[in-house]
Chain A
């Protein structure tokens, strides 16, 4: 009986001991989080590094998609890595949470990277990681079914009409997938986020329902309607169609390099078709993976030494490429063993970096849903416009939370009438608008007859203010009252639109 009791105590002790070992800080150790494919390559490097630097490298297998969330959970309690591998589009969120530190490249090292790869890991003018792979989708064409590359999307359609009687599609694209459909969107001039003058993303300008975005949606809709583009397609369906010769082309990326070869199809890798008068070639998204240094690491200088002196070398980048087959970021890595790489790099010549800003998280679901609806025959314009509303709602709610306590002032020539000491005064609390909690603000004031002009100002200053049509620094809004009137003003912080009960 006592034995049992002791076993229980011992078990509890062992459990606690186990958790303790991870709490206690490691000495001269670099902990590296990497995915299953990268770890073997890093392990090969370990002997040399350990001998040179007198350290121990500790590897933990974490999937590429999980690294960010894991770091944000484990890092603050001291259990995170010193270095980890992550996709480039997590950088914005990691920086927003102060979880990684910038990396400075020496000029000689910088020259070894392709500039586009470094761009992927640059956020707010600062480099945050060492990229090792850069990738984009391309058109994989069955040369026997489609001897010539598609120059335009109309060519795709034309071939589809020609092959339809044989039950063959001209192209198969994963259905309802924003990433794989972006080449179509971009070819017609659509985009995700517009750009500010300084080159940063303008999150108020969502291009899915822009002229180009809608043209792309309409093109896709027509293709689905006429049975020229298969629906309910995922990667597996796409590859089986390709293998069976049921589609003349597919859109996929270099991570499926081997799978493409395994289909046994006589193929070529092409650039994305364009649209005459709009684009010569459509642009795929470019994405990348790289190494970042945790802000919670106690060994940042050592981590930097390891990354820049051992990882950012041609030999190691070559080893990573040989193992993983993803297009390298180093200019002098030899890719000749993999004939597909040249094709993918060629197709990515005009690739657009996938936005790495935190707001991108709000885009995927809504945009995927719109594309799914289009494949089901719903109205393309309404679907895309709904997606934009959904994205704005998601971003708006997030922005509202970030800006809880944001004050909105009704400013204008009507302020003194409303009880303020003067007109056009954003600091006057009498005309602060009431937060309705859903991003809209209202205020009701009784004004004598007369002609007025007004706008709204944010946080008691003119730095951020909105006028007619929701434009920032926009024109004054006129208000004419023939008699004394009780007027309700409303400002929607999501759309920045201003309305009042008299004009609208």
Chain B
């Protein structure tokens, strides 16, 4: 309402002014927040996210202030989320696939150096004291150190940035409430101090004290690892070993061999992850079989669910069916129940020896205990079980989209067919199906890609079992590409993000190829329907 007023050039009324001011205010707040986030991520060294946030901030502001871009305003939140949640992750995956990012190499070099050089050690000849913390008026901290040497109390006062001093004639080990302008801290003040003093050095020159743990301080407490930027090496002060950064392995490695320092750092490994995927013993083993089963599974799921769903839709489309609203609602139930729960139930039902299905069949005398159907433990039966469970999970969706599409087919073509004397099968084959596929074709392709990567079903129902005997890498007969490669990248060893990213890209390429192929196929249907 008020926006129209503004566009006509009429002086804005009070309400419009109010909303405008509020709008500018919010944009200012929004940008302030973006800037804070940018600052945060910049300090973490995440350049890519800084760029994305920058684009979002600048873009939003420009769109807001340029009247010509007014229509785009409505898309801004959507575009921002696309950038943040779709474009950035894709970039992140591609970038990762060329690195060794993963367990042992989780951090940039700087952060690894920070973690390593934070470690301390107590030299063998160090003295050990009990400590209390005091604070001067200028905010400086000091430690009140006590220890017993042969039954004699020794007290040392250790201020920050000043030399250590022996306190003569102290009556007891307890720190005094005040000492030379320094106040003894307790409670919350002491707690606050802990964060500041845990890494502080007290004393000066060679004679220093550091806090070792909540009770003890060591004189001296030394930084164990020192980084030399020029040599790009870390020296272990306690042993003298020098660890040189190896940009080929992403580790600081000791000169002359031995265990590298943990943690390592992220390096660019070029195409090594892809090469590793190709050279992985897994590829020489079951990968071909798994790929074939993946395609069979995805295609089989689409065909079976679509066939059953369409059948149901056709039946329920007929006005003669009594109570079809009720039946339709009941048939949708499998779709309404969360898939994980359905799968868990099916898993229990299909258990070979103790599942309800086999038990019932035994009770009815169809099977004996010795001839139970190995639903989940035989390679072929397990595949059938998976397709059946997926049929159960998937047909309501197909039924829904099919009944929608059936409504959209104009009734005059059916009348024409009836006039021409077409049989019901001919009508279905030559009119209903082609016209239906035009509408639901893209959805079938989407269903195929979804099932191609249907990790949840496999993981929850069989976990890929039964295992393939003699496989060089652990794999199961019902593993599909995504469940198999997930195990390859994560299951067999900790997280290996770089490798996983490379595998993801390879699978993405495969799915993309299949989709392109299918789209072509679908276009043929469309041409056919044009002729119809």
Binding site for B on A (CB under 8 A): 1-3, 5-6, 8-13, 16-17, 19-20, 23, 28, 52-55, 69, 72, 76-78, 93, 95-99, 104, 106, 176, 230-234, 236-237, 240-241, 295, 298-302, 304-305, 308-309, 358-359, 361-362, 365-366, 369-370, 372-373, 376, 378, 382-383, 386-387, 389-390, 393-395, 397-398, 401-405, 436-438, 458-459, 461, 463-464
Contacts and interface: CB of A to CB of B under 8 A. Distances in A.
B94 to A, nearest CB: 19
A301 B198 contact: yes
Contacts of B493: 358-359, 361-362, 394-395, 397-398
17 contacts: A28-B191, A96-B104, A98-B112, A98-B262, A99-B263, A104-B213, A237-B351, A295-B115, A302-B191, A359-B493, A369-B474, A373-B469, A390-B473, A397-B280, A404-B249, A459-B257, A463-B258
Contacts of B465: 176, 369, 372
A93 B103 CA distance: 8
Given A16-B34, A97-B103, A376-B377, A390 B466 contact: no
A369 B214 contact: no
Nearest to B499: A401
A133 to B, nearest CB: 24
Contacts of B118: 295
Contact of B44 (A6, A77, A241, A389): A77
Contacts of A461: 256-257
B442 interface: no
A476 to B, nearest CB: 21
A405 B248 contact: yes
A438 B195 contact: no
Contact of A386 (B16, B44, B192, B470): B470
In this complex, the member of B19, B487, B493 whose beta carbon has the largest number of chain A beta carbons within 10 angstroms is B493
Nearest to B3: A1
Interface stretch (B72-80, B229-237, B289-297, B453-461): B72-80
Contacts of B188: 28, 53-55
A214 B110 CA distance: 48
A25 to B, nearest CB: 10
B198 A300 contact: yes
Contacts of A395: 493
Contacts of B187: 52-54
Contacts of A1: 1-3
B474 A365 contact: yes
B263 A12 contact: no
Interface string B465-480: 1110111111010000
A232 B469 contact: no
Interface in B38-90: 40, 44, 60, 64, 73-74, 76-77, 80
Contacts of A402: 104, 249, 251, 264
B195 A298 contact: yes
A342 to B, nearest CB: 32
A96 B261 CA distance: 9
Contacts of A389: 472
Given A16-B37, A362-B492, 7 more contacts: A2-B23, A11-B77, A72-B103, A97-B104, A299-B195, A369-B474, A402-B264
Given A299-B195, A438-B279, A93 B494 contact: yes
A23 B29 contact: no
Contacts of A308: 214
B488 to A, nearest CB: 9
B33 A6 contact: no
Contacts of B36: 20, 23
Contacts of B275: 437
Nearest to B188: A54
Contact of A19 (B37, B74, B77, B351): B37
Question: For chain A, what secondary structure do more than half of its interface residues adopt (helix, strand, loop), or is it mixed?
Answer: helix
Contacts of A6: 19, 22-23, 26
Contacts of A5: 23, 73-74
Given A54-B191, A358-B494, A369-B474, A463 B257 contact: yes
A305 B280 CA distance: 48
Interface string B99-122: 010011011000110011010000
A109 to B, nearest CB: 10
Nearest to A52: B187
Interface in B257-312: 257-258, 262-264, 269, 272, 275-276, 279-281
Given A16-B30, A16-B37, A361-B492, A383 B77 contact: no
B512 interface: no
Contacts of B80: 12
A372 B281 CA distance: 22
B421 to A, nearest CB: 57
A378 B469 contact: yes
Nearest to B347: A234
Contacts of B198: 299-301
Contacts of A23: 36-37, 40
B27 interface: yes
Nearest to B215: A106
B473 A393 contact: yes
A405 B263 contact: no
Contacts of B104: 96-97, 358, 402
Contacts of B519: none
A401 B106 contact: no
A302 to B, nearest CB: 5
A87 to B, nearest CB: 14
A405 B262 contact: no
A19 B26 CA distance: 17
B276 A369 contact: no
Given A2-B2, A358-B103, A394 B33 contact: no
A299 B76 contact: no
B121 to A, nearest CB: 11
In this complex, the member of B3, B26, B280 whose beta carbon has the largest number of chain A beta carbons within 10 angstroms is B26
B353 A230 contact: yes
A98 B263 contact: yes
Interface string B335-350: 0000000000000100
Contacts of A300: 198
A203 B26 CA distance: 59
B474 A390 contact: yes
Contacts of B251: 402
Contacts of B280: 397, 438
B49 to A, nearest CB: 10
Interface in B424-480: 465-467, 469-474, 476
A8 B33 contact: no
B3 A2 contact: yes
A361 to B, nearest CB: 5
A76 B106 contact: yes
